[in-house]
Amino acid sequence: MHLSSIDKMTAFRRRYLDSQASQPLVIVDLGSQDIRGSYRSIFDRPPWRYVGVDIVPGKNVELVIRDPYNWRELKSNSVDVLISGQTFEHTEFFWETAGEIERILKPNGLCCIIAPWTGPVHRYPLDCWRMNCDGMLAIARYAGLEVLEAWSQTADSPKYDADSNQWHESILIVRKRKGEQKLRERIYRWSKRRVRPPLKNIDYWIQVLFAADQTYREEQSVCSFLDGDQWRKVWIGLPADAQVRSVRIDFSGPRLRLIELASLRVSDENRNFLDFPAQNAWDEIHLQGDAERLESAGDLRVKTEGIDPQLHLPAFKEAREDLPLFVEMQARAKCEPS
């Protein structure tokens, strides 16, 4: 949580909430897990009740929601204030999230959303969007919320370091309109929540990082996913103009305990650079991070606590830049190391 975001959220509290310091406000922080800090110190002030909400358990999370787009754990018209920072860029279908925000806010309830407009790729486990001012206004319009403020930081500020200035956040402050919704709108929102097929959570993520010099960067990576406990053939294409001599494969997931690979190949349309186990032995793969090799007759089996398991493939001769590389694997991820 960088300083510029903390300052923007603090300014929201001072401008809109400090006058209600004696009121027992319910303040929900969406995407509250403490990775490098949180907003708790700004809002955890009795009689206010601060509630950290996220889709995974962790530090600063009091409530885990099972469906990110249908919050059955939170009642309609039950929240005075919803805050969210550095979350919407990671949310695949943020417009569905906006609808749930509108539902749980009390009439006249307030919402403050902060999201980056610029900045490098930073998956957790996805990095889907960047939001400018127009995008923030679109969120409010879709959810039927009254806009109080919407703006973007358009230039670096001397107040902040490079880490803060790279994001140029946008901020949206909205209010839920007081009064009854039109019958047609209420029926539409009610039916949408019940008729829409559930959007399945992704169980486990695969991130393929590639480099010319074994220095891996987040922006030089491609992602795919695995369903829990099922063998799946994964095919990942790397950028055609990428200079690739080394590949690292990371796995992640909140309950990940075992990774199994039956085959793994790095190739272009003309040749195989690596082919496990047909041409290469599994023990040529170097494990780092939270990864422990298990004995296995034919497959690669890796035990993990799901923190940061890394598979470093052996270096290979640089491929032709005009021929894209492909990473193919037969893989399975499980929540039990058995």
Confidence band (pLDDT; 50, 70, 90) for 186? Answer: low
Distance separating alpha carbons of residues 46 and 43, to the nearest angstrom: 9
Distance separating alpha carbons of residues 1 and 93, to the nearest angstrom: 22
CA distance to 10, 80, 169, 209, 247, per residue, from 83 (Å): 11, 10, 15, 33, 39
- Measured in degrees and rounded to the nearest 5, phi and psi for residue 204 equal -140, 145
Question: Could you tell me the domains of the chain?
Answer: 3-195 (3.40.50.150), 204-334 (no CATH)
108: left (phi over 0), alpha (psi -120 to 50) or beta: left
The contacts of residue 174 (CB under 8 Å, 6+ apart) are 110, 111, 113, 140, 143, 145, 146, 147, 148
269 touches 328 (CB < 8 A): no
Distance separating alpha carbons of residues 218 and 252, to the nearest angstrom: 14
Q: How remote is the C-alpha of 190 from its chain's centroid?
A: 27
What confidence tens digit (pLDDT) does each residue in 285-322 have? Answer: 999 999 999 998 889 999 998 778 999 999 987 666 66
- DSSP H helices in the chain: 3-16, 40-43, 94-104, 133-143, 162-165, 183-195
What confidence tens digit (pLDDT) does each residue in 116-175 have? Answer: 999 888 877 788 889 999 999 999 999 999 999 999 988 899 999 998 989 999 999 999
**By three-state DSSP, how is residue 95 classified?**
helix
281: left (phi over 0), alpha (psi -120 to 50) or beta: beta
Q: How far apart are the first and last CA of the chain?
A: 37
Average pLDDT over residues 235-246: 82
Distance separating alpha carbons of residues 59 and 37, to the nearest angstrom: 10
Average pLDDT, the chain: 89
Of residues 338 and 233, more confidently modeled: 233
